[in-house]
Amino acid sequence: MPSGSSNIVCMAEVKVIDTETVNNYYVDEAGDLNLFDKRGRVIIGRQGVSRMFMVGVARLPDPKTAHQKFDGLRAALLADAYFKGVPSMQLDAGKTALYFHATDDLPEVRREVFRLLPELDAKVIVGIRRKEYLVSAARFLFQRGEKFRSDEVYDDLIKRLFRNLQHKALENRIVFAIRGKSLRQHAFEQAIERAKVNFEIKTGIPSDSKTVVIPAYSSQFVGLQIIDYYLWALQRLFEREEDRFFNLIAKDYRLIMDLDDKRNKPYGEWYSDTNPLELKKIKPLIG
């Protein structure tokens, strides 16, 4: 049964400890939760608006080595005359010269990052929501006089991602990407705690592990840059039906939950080693 006590520790900045008793997780999102314009019209798929929303977590067994390899790659790229004068490679631009971000990085840079990722032994889990189903949910709530809250979608995905993760080490260090101007640290911590309680209720196994929650910007932790790339590749697969990036790192995705594809199962389609994700299996997106 659940212990009833919280082991979550809040810290603004924590140095990574390299030990088998600590699991290091990095959380980010891809897509957006914009559904309607000011007139209430559906805007899914319009320019700059995604057709899906996903949250992913990457566990890195050796964050220190990952940090060193990413720093080494960025230094080599910045020293390459080919990139001299490229705006995104200038320090004052606040982009690739400081940290990798798949959307902002040049194609040549992305290729080098994708070469490096398989060396890091990341284990990635992703939860996906299709926005056409969120539109239906928002309209249903509106008819009942209630408001659709995008933060609840994010928090639900966090609970799903961490439902079976927190008991696997004596300490869990969870770095999550700051969303916009809001830290949302308290809400994130609550979602993590609910995931722990749900696990205890489901299994009857109390979790005594300590959880350290760290809000951060991608430039502060290489792990956030790594999960960003995994999410970018998966989003390209779903939204553009482009699988060449995903295929380079497919082995690192341990679980992908397409929660709104209920053609075969009421809880959605789950892709893993026993059901590998392939382009032909994906239910087409709407919008």
Is there a domain that residue 160 lies in?
Answer: yes
Kindly report, residue by residue over 34-81, the tens digit of the pLDDT.
999 888 899 998 988 999 999 999 999 999 999 999 999 999 999 999
* Position 78 in a domain: no
Q: Residue 1: what pLDDT?
A: 38
Percent of the chain with pLDDT over 70: 90
Give me the chain's average pLDDT, please.
88
What percent of the chain clears pLDDT 90, i.e. is strictly above it? 66
Confidence band of 228 (pLDDT split at 50, 70, 90): very high
Residue 4 has pLDDT above 60, yes or no: no
HSE-up of residue 85 (Cα within 13 Å, Cβ side): 2
Whether residue 262 lies inside any domain: the answer is yes
Given this model, what pLDDT does residue 202 score?
78
Predicted local distance difference test score (pLDDT) of residue 182: 63
CB 56, CB 233: distance < 8 Å: no
Judge whether 69 lies within some domain: no
* 20 band by pLDDT with thresholds 50, 70 and 90: low
* pLDDT higher than threshold 50 for residue 14: no
Confidence of residue 111 (pLDDT cuts 50, 70, 90): very high
Give me the pLDDT at residue 3, please.
Answer: 41
**pTM of the predicted model, to two decimals?**
0.89
CA 235/CA 243 separation, integer angstroms: 10
* 118-122, 206-210, 236-240, 243-247: segment of lowest average pLDDT: 206-210
Of the pLDDT bands very low, low, confident and very high (cuts 50, 70, 90), residue 204 is: confident
Residue 85 lies in a domain: no
CATH of the domain at 39: 3.30.420
Give per-residue pLDDT as tens, 114-171.
999 999 999 999 999 999 999 999 999 989 998 888 889 999 999 999 988 867 778 8
Asked if 211 contacts 9 with a C-beta cutoff of 8 angstroms, the reply is yes
Given a cut of 50, is residue 191 above it in pLDDT? yes
pLDDT of residue 222: 97
Dihedral (C-alpha) 33, 242, 227, 258: value to the nearest 10 degrees? 60
Asked, for residue 108, whether it belongs to a domain, the answer is: no
Q: In the predicted model, is pLDDT for residue 13 greater than 60?
A: no
Count up the domains in the chain and report the number: 1
Spell out the residues 6+ positions from residue 275 whose beta carbon is closer than 8 angstroms to its own: 269
Strands of 171-177's sheet, edge to edge?
8-10, 210-216, 171-177, 22-31, 52-60, 123-130, 253-258, 269-271
Has residue 6 got a pLDDT over 50?
A: no
Q: Mean pLDDT across the stretch 182-188?
A: 74
**Which pLDDT score is estimated for 189?**
83
Domain span including residue 210: 8-12+23-61+121-281
> Does 116 map to a domain?
no
Looking at residue 7, its pLDDT comes to 53
185 domain-assigned? yes
